[in-house]
Structure 1
């Protein structure tokens, strides 16, 4: 699962989720939206790419809006 093709596919999917999350992010100061980023991690058998939030209020915003969950659903063809 560390082939170049799989890495590219994983990166592409994560970028779609990140783009959707930024598009639909609630904006007060913009810190939540601007704090969304990709986090890359290599494990023994695979490459992992996560969409994470670095703003101190990310957990609060997520608990109230579910923005990242909805972005994931939309990126794979859901709502």
Structure 2
């Protein structure tokens, strides 16, 4: 296999960020676009989705989704 072919093969692989988003989407039964909106702060996942994300990442919900001035709500509350 040539250097160029190896490069093309590597280039076609998903990035770690794409893999991360896909794993979160699969675990929460949501679309990739929804997860991207969560990550950008456009939307906030509901409590059940937060729990699933917490479980697969092995990080407490309150650490993943801290209450702040940007509109995030504590994990035990539903987004408005």
**TM surpasses 0.5:** no
Q: With the length of structure 2 as denominator, give the TM-score of the two structures.
A: 0.27
Q: Which has the higher contact order (CA 8 A, sep 6+)?
A: 1
Q: Which has the higher strand share?
A: 1
